[in-house]
Structure 1
Amino acid sequence: MSARFLILCSLILTLFSCAEPQVKLLSPSIIPAPQSLQVNAGHFTINEETTLSNNDDFTASYNFLNNFLEHASGRTWKTKYSETNSIILEYDDSISSKEGYSIESNEHNITIKASTDAGAFYAVQSLLQLMPVDLNNTTEIHIPAITIKDEPRFKYRGMHLDVSRHMYDVEFIKKYINAMAMLKMNNFHWHFTDDQGWRIEIKKYPRLQEVAAYRDSTLLGHYNDTPHQYDGKKYGGFYTQEEVHEVIAFAKARHINVIPEIEMPGHAQAAIAAYPELGCTGENVQVAMKWGVFEDIYCPSEETFTFLENVLDEVMELFPSKYIHIGGDEAPKTQWKTSDVAQQVIKENGLKDEHELQSYFIQRMEKYLNSKGRQIIGWDEILEGGLAPNATVMSWRGTNGAVEAAKARHDVIMTPTSHAYFDYYQSENDDEPLAIGGFLPLEKVYNFNPIPQELNDEEAIRVLGVQGNVWTEYMTTSEQVEYMAFPRMLAMSEVAWSADENKNYDSFINRVEYFHKRLDEMDINYANHLYEIEGTLNENQAYELSTKTIGKEIRFTTDGSEPDSSSTVYEAPIPFTADMTLKAQVFDDDEPLGRLFTQEFLYHKGVGATISINKEPHKSYPGSGANGLVNGIKGSDSRYGDSEWLGFWGEDLKIRVDFEQEFGVNEIELRFYHAPGQWIYAPNDLKISSDPHAPFSKIKPVSKSGNFYNYKIDLKVASSAFILLVPNYGTIPDGHQGAGNKAWTFIDEIIIK
């Protein structure tokens, strides 16, 4: 469904409106985009005489539609079959997709056809999006005559919510699920347990509610801030089993499966605080008060396995889900290396090392769940040491885990940090609320292709679908969760549902702009970055500005003053030949929209030079490519992962800068991001040479400020080239986040004076 097609729909509806001026029709604006949508002549009017006709199998769909209409109209709706003026829910076994449906709207009826209640339910969601947002005091609702044929691309369409770091009341959980249903998502991943809190009632182990559910204090600011500071306030709570039942019933009525996550063997410090015997040291520990990864993990003793089996028994009684998520990520092996119990298990079971011990741990829990008719999902670390036989892998550390699992004929759910972590910043504005880091704008979510290129057609079938993740370390309120989740959840819904050929980002943006009204009506605190400006330096060293919304203009200044309605209208790229402070803003007529865009330009001797790097940036953090290191634009001072920071994972770098002619160089400045809590380490030293045949000089950082290591090399040489060697930090040591993994290197502008 192209942008051109949507514009054509709008023109057709306008013509109909001219023929019947008393009827105002809305252009179809459905998210996620249907597989096929045709606008026909005419319309159907829902009025006080309209009735509902329900197939007996479509109970949830009928109830949802009936409740919506009763709430909107304030009247009781009659249920009977009628050949005219009726909304008909009809069984059609020719629709092969269990979640597929069709809608036919004409002047007589609206007919919904599906082969299951789920399909009919998704048809209802599309129908409701064809209605005006505000239906208060509305006696007639005009629905354009349309034909829709639709089915999902993927069968798993999920959203995750972490309630262990910060907890939200049941009403918000329902609100979150209701929004998922509107977007045709069908799996809610409820992350209950972690180091910072245990949030589900387990009756057999009351200390989980009394101790594990509460921490004595909570970290203030960002994890990377030093020294750490705390609020000194006890925080916590848990969901009772009655509340869990309530949420599951609410989700079931919306065809959403609820998947519980009980973390193991890592992220277990809260549970060990309640029952120290579950750990390897037997020592008393506290529920964690800061974020991150901790060395207190479950000891692989029989007592631990009995505890986890008993916990899972109660979880399975509550959750009908086929899947139980058991985590499996970020489990440091330090304590296992020195534990007599752990080493004895390794010896008795002929295991090679602690990685195979984790595999043993996961496989043992999988066998137990399989014996109860359930299957496990785990984060991609469960691949390490050997994958459990029937496990489904959630690939979060990129796509390598997905490729490995799919080639081994395991099912995969795609949720990589690069495209699916909604705790990342979504705008480069400095006034964005505090987030964990990274940069994931709406467009990047939307353009996610869940099928890795390395998979053939047979292997690609193993990709069940996608999921957006909301980790809540920095989301203290439900309003903040909404801000981080919306509108990125809208983009993920279209990734999960719509076929590639029906996806068009310009069309999507225009639908999102209208969809804001619907989110307003639902009282959802979404982030609105639609009127923000994007800037790109082109190959001619001129700066291009753009905004995604149609019918608006950009006004700008280059002297640092704020633009107003009299400022220059942007029409062509802006030359960059000297230091410059560019400010720009989107205007609708004379009214400014969105936030002010500011970009500082530093014109130095390296700008426009030829640069090469022996390694490609990681595909999740490409920045502006190699040329971005000498384009005169520095990366963000508050976060990595924007359009200027380049990220490399575990690789030594050789950077060469060539100038058109030899000239005098006095100094070189550069900086690296340093955030050990996010596996990012600045190099301990660099090596530089202005002559490929001369020895390299070693350079230490001259200063450390916040998350940056700054390097400055004083030179007085005539040179036409520089070579810079940047060694990777190496393997992250024990006791640090990500221990045993390769470190990341992040670098931005190389300033040559």
Structure 2
Amino acid sequence: MQIKKITVLIVFITFLYNCDSPNTETPKPQIIPMPTHMESTKGEFILDNSVGMSFDSNFEVSAIFLKEFIEKGSSIQLEKNNKISFIQDDTISNDEGYQLTISPKQIEIRAKTDQGAFYAVQSIRQLLPADFENGTFTSEKFAIPSITIKDEPQFKHRGMHLDVGRHFFSVDFIKKYIDALAMLKMNTFHWHLTEDQGWRIEIKKYPKLQEIAAFRDQTLIGSYDPDQQQFDGKRYGGYYTQKEIKDVVAYAQTRHVTIIPEIEMPGHAQAAISAYPELGCTGEQVKVAETWGVFDHIFCSKDETFEFLENVLDEVLELFPSKYIHIGGDEAPKTHWEKCPNCQQRIKEEGLKDEHELQNYFITRIEKYLNGKGRQIIGWDEILEGGLAPNATVMSWRGTDGAIEAAKQHHNVIMTPTSHCYFDYKQSDNEGEPLANSGGFLPLKKVYSFNPIPEELSEEESQYVLGGQGNVWTEYIPNEKQLEYMVFPRILAMSEVLWTPTKNKNYADFVARVENFHQRMDALDINYANHLYEVDGEVVATGYELKSILENKTIRFSTDGTEPNVTSEVYSGVIPIDKDLIIKAAIFDDDKKLGATFTQPINYHKALGKKISINAQPSKTYAGSGADGLINGITGSDTRINDKEWLGFDGEDLEITIDLGEEMTINSIETRFYEAPWMWIYAPKVIEYGFGEHGTSSKVEIPESKDTHANIKIDLNATTRYIHLRIPNSGLIPEGKQGAGHQPWTFIDEIIIN
């Protein structure tokens, strides 16, 4: 093979080089994700106009990226030299692994593939000053500490998802998104292209998809609550032409990012059915959806539908060379299938048990078609219902159960549970946070705590977990700046979860690197959320504890609701709770307040800190602070249920006992329940209560709620040590409501005993 030698100058830095002090102490490298192995050695590599690099054609993508990054980021024009070299090393077992050696004489990049070399370049990039990112670097001489890095990813699939169906994003922004993935050594972009609210990919055989399905008449603004819905009255939409998609795919290939397209089926298909009504079961003309949620209009199982989908997929395959095609498979109500003559005939002809097995037939038929084209399918974990298609990979989002079931069947799994991977959830308690999905709360620390390997899997079964990804659903994300705010810095945590071995992870060290990374995001014009300077807190056995995720920061606070300032008390230990408090706290650096004020009202009542037991365990996703959180003096959020206070139970009747420790006179019992039928959450109809050791004896109806909270206060005059509450589930969700026929969720907040 003919080797093409190309030499170019490279100049990069971690700090300004001082010619008079060549041995100046250098800062610790601040790379995200943290490399597998990193060892500092003696000396520094001096980068000036005498330095260049050499590479052969196998490493052209990586080397050209580095060359352009230097030249576009500075005034330096590269000349010929070979002090920096790219070397193919087939002894490196992982195709994405690399070895980077920086010594006083040279920089050496060893990799088996260009992809591995590309990730070495991304590490070098993060050793350069952030000024290179926006072309403002002007210095001529720098030094970088000598270092050896041996690095490879923990997981094969390291991805980010983006829903462009609810809100549409430009080609330029999609490229910027891909750039961010590449910088963080993520290798997969899951492009969610079709939805009930918009079809975003040009299909030439079916022009009505562009003319009709790509646009909706108006868009929901604000709350999804059906009783409070408002619309903007503006036609909205757009789609990517096939030329644009080819351009984006080619661009991603220069960043070693694979794009996996998602074409939803059989559910989330209302936009397509609006263009071609014959694809549905009813044949009726429907509109592109203007609200969020799950819709009954799904693809019918007749042959005409499969012909349509196969023709669509043929054009998709021409655009996307990825091994995988994502076919959705989630949230497909069977309402129309149950009444559809075509679907019932299909069930009979194929010997299927029910509509769930019909979904398996649907997915399996599409899988066979794609397998025949040399491709594989990925589906959300609902594709397990009715049996799993033979070669399908499962993307587990509703917790870990789907992943466990699939891995035990020896199917590949990609982990993306809502609890740790849904970046459309709020990330802070700040009042100024943008409107977001009310179903969850996902701060940076929780993302970082994610372990993609469920503990229920054996070592052999764990091999089927390919990795994970962060998901971004855009119901409440109408523009690019808000999308960036929701993604950054949580994407930094996800990149380290998926790349760095668990034993190497350290949250305190990570957040220090995130603080440093702010400069790079500023230079890249990324609108990131900065919650590093926020205070958090929790009730502990001896009172209330304040925390900061950054070490060595000064917290000042008050307990009477006054705004903390430079003269406020410095936090040094747990704050006792012996009365009602309004704790306010903030981080200070000398006389400068660094972050937002943390506010926590505490309602001191007779059950605070006492013993409580519940007959049922809350959902892992909605476990709050456990049973103790129901009597810790803190009321849950008014706008979301996935915080530290609300407890969510999936269909159970609840029996709660509070032991006050001694007999006390009590005058009232007060609590509240969440009410959100569109989320399958219903307040109970009654609450039963009693005292002593003999259970409940009295019953009170819970008033119907006109908003998202049902409040109940029971006035009493009783003396007791034990309080018993029985809270029956409200019963099956009625017909005509989302989740009809299912047991609803019960969400309960603080139980206040006065």
The TM-score range, normalised by the shorter chain, is over 0.9
1:301 equivalent in alignment to 2:302: yes
Match in the other structure for 2:3: none
SS of residue paired to 1:77: coil
Moved more, 416-425 or 739-748: 739-748
The equivalent of 1:316 in structure 2 is 317
Moved more, 283-292 or 40-49: 40-49
Pair 702,466 (structure 1): closer, same or farther in 2 beyond 3 Å = same
Q: For 1:635-687, what per-residue CA distance to the aligned partner results, in whole angstroms no more than 9, with x for missing partners?
A: 11221111111122232221110111112222111111122233322222222
Take 1:730 and 1:267, find their aligned partners in 2: how far apart are those partners? 28
Matched residue, 1:10 = none
Three-state SS of the structure 2 residue aligned to 1:719 is strand
Q: Give the secondary-structure state (helix, strand or coil) at the position aligned to 2:378.
A: strand
Match of 2:5 in 1: none
Counterpart for residue 7 of structure 1: none
2:28 aligned partner, one-letter code: S
Question: CA–CA distance in 2 between the matches of 1:686 and 1:371?
Answer: 58
Deviations 1:122-153 (A, max 9, x none): 00001110111124112123221000000000
The total of aligned residue pairs comes to: 735
Question: In the alignment, is residue 286 of structure 1 matched against residue 287 of structure 2?
Answer: yes
Structure 1 match to 2:122 = 125
- 1:674–1:682: 8 Å Cα contact kept in structure 2? yes
Verify the 8 A CA contact 1:131 1:141 in the aligned structure 2: no
SS of equivalent to 2:722: strand
What residue identity is the alignment partner of 2:244? Answer: E
The residue aligned with 1:513 is 515
CA distance in 1, matches of 2:693, 2:220: 49
Give deviations 1:42-70, integer Å, cap 9, x for gaps: 11122222111113211111111111011
Aligned-residue offset at 1:692: 4.3
Please report how far the alpha carbon of residue 26 of structure 1 lies from its aligned counterpart in structure 2 after TM superposition.
3.5
Alpha-carbon distance, 1:211 to partner: 0.4
2:534 is matched with 532
Q: Could you tell me how far 1:727 is from its partner in structure 2?
A: 2.4
Aligned to 1:635: 636
- Residue aligning to 2:38: 37
Structure 1: distance between partners of 2:244 and 2:144: 38
The one-letter code of the counterpart of 1:630 is: I
Q: Are 2:437 and 1:440 equivalent residues in the alignment?
A: no
Q: How far is 1:706 from its partner?
A: 2.4
Query: What residue is the counterpart of 1:97 in the other structure?
Result: 94
Contact 1:159 1:467 in 2 (8 A): yes
- Write out the 4+ residue segments of structure 1 that deviate beyond 6 Å after TM superposition: 16-19
Letter aligned with residue 289 of structure 2: A
The change in CA–CA distance for 1:23 and 1:246 in structure 2 (over 3 A counts) is farther
Instruction: Give 1:744 shift.
Output: 2.4
Residue correspondence of structure 1 range 541-690 to structure 2 within 5 A = 542-690=543-691
Q: Provide the secondary structure at the position in 1 that maps to 2:58.
A: coil
Per the alignment, in what secondary structure is the counterpart of residue 297 of structure 1?
A: coil
Cα deviation per residue 1:162-193 (whole Å; 9 max; x = unaligned)? 00000010000000000000000000000011
Contact 2:280 2:298 in 1 (8 A): yes
Q: 2:503: which partner in 1? A: 501
Amino acid at match of 1:357: L
- 1:400-439 maps to which residues of 2 (within 5 A)? 400-437=401-438, 438-439=440-441
- The code of the aligned residue for 1:724 comes to L
Q: CA deviation at 1:21?
A: 6.2
Structure 1 segment 73-88 matched on structure 2, within 5 A:
73-78=74-79, 80=81, 82=82, 86-88=83-85
- AA of the residue aligned to 2:640: R
Q: Which moved more, 1:500-509 or 1:133-142?
A: 133-142
Query: Residue 294 of structure 2 aligns to a residue in which SS?
Result: coil
Residue 415 of structure 1 and its aligned partner are, at CA, apart by 0.1
Q: Distance in 2 between matches of 1:629 and 1:114?
A: 54
Q: Report the equivalent of 2:110.
A: 113
Given that 1:645 and 1:748 are in contact with CA atoms closer than 8 Å, whether structure 2 keeps it comes out as yes
How far does the alpha carbon of each residue in 1:551-606 deviate from its partner, in whole angstroms, 9 at most, with x for none?
A: 32000011111011011000011111001111110001110011100010111111
- The amino acid across from 2:691 in the alignment is S
CA distance in 2 between counterparts of 1:425 and 1:679 reads 20
8 Å Cα contact 1:181-1:256 kept in structure 2: yes
**Counterpart residue number, 1:255:** 256
Structure 1 CA distance for aligned equivalents of residues 660 and 553 of structure 2: 40
Match of 1:477 among 476, 479, 482: 479
The 5 Å alignment of 1:3-402 reads: 20=21, 25-78=26-79, 80=81, 82=82, 86-135=83-132, 136-224=137-225, 226-402=227-403
- For the residue of structure 2 that corresponds to 1:200, the secondary structure is coil
Report which stretch shifted further, 439-448 or 717-726: 717-726
Amino acid at match of 2:597: L
Greater Cα offset, 131-140 or 175-184? 131-140
After superposing the two structures, state which structure 1 stretch, 612-621 or 114-123, moved more: 612-621
| CA deviation string 1:509-542 (max 9, x = no partner) | 00000001111111000000000101011112x1
3-state DSSP of counterpart to 1:402: helix
SS in 2 for 1:134: helix
In structure 1, what is the Cα distance between the partners aligned to 2:637 and 2:484? Answer: 24
Structure 1 residue 624, shift from structure 2 partner: 1.2
CA distance in 2, matches of 1:316, 1:623: 44
- Residue 523 in 1 paired to residue 525 in 2? yes
- The separation in 1 between residues aligned to 2:696 and 2:69, in whole angstroms, is 75
Q: Distance in 2 between matches of 1:384 and 1:730?
A: 24
Check 1:650–1:217 CA distance in 2 against 1; reply closer, same or farther (3 A cut). Answer: same
Aligned-partner residue type, residue 117 of structure 2: A
Change (3 A) 1:728 1:210: same
Kept in 2, the 8 Å contact 1:295–1:735? The answer is no
Task: Name the counterpart of 1:702.
Answer: 703
- The 1:92/1:695 distance shift into structure 2, 3 A limit, reads closer
CA distance in 2, matches of 1:741, 1:469: 27
Q: TM-score, normalised on structure 1?
A: 0.95
Q: CA distance change for structure 1 residues 729 and 116 in 2, over 3 Å: closer, same or farther?
A: farther
Question: By how many angstroms is 1:747 displaced?
Answer: 1.3
Shift of 1:738: 4.3
Measure, in 2, the Cα distance between the counterparts of 1:742 and 1:152.
42
Supply the distance in 1 between the matched residues of 2:432 and 2:746 (Cα, whole angstroms): 26
Q: What residue is the counterpart of 1:491 in the other structure?
A: 493
Measured in 1, the distance between the counterparts of 2:140 and 2:23 equals: 14
**Aligned equivalents of 1:78, 1:660: Cα separation in 2:** 80
Cα distance change of structure 1 residues 21 and 115 upon mapping to structure 2, 3 Å threshold: closer
1:247 aligned partner, one-letter code: V
* Counterpart Cα distance in 2 of 1:316 and 1:742: 41
Q: Is the 8 A contact 2:688 2:696 kept in 1?
A: no
Write the deviation string for residues 397-424 of structure 1: whole angstroms up to 9, x where unpaired: 0000000000000000000000000000
Q: What displacement does 1:735 show?
A: 4.0
Amino acid at match of 2:505: K
Question: What is the CA–CA distance in structure 2 between the aligned matches of 1:561 and 1:17, rounded to whole Å?
Answer: 48
8 Å contact 2:696–2:726 — kept in the other structure?
no
Equivalent residue, structure 1, for 2:452: 450
Amino acid at match of 2:598: F
Q: Measure how far apart 1:697 and its partner are.
A: 2.4
How far apart in 2 are the matches of 1:265 and 1:633? 44
Between the aligned partners of 1:738 and 1:193, the Cα distance in structure 2 is 23
In the other structure, the counterpart of 1:719 is: 720
The amino acid of 1:501's aligned partner reads K
Question: What is the distance in 2 between the residues matched to 1:594 and 1:225?
Answer: 36
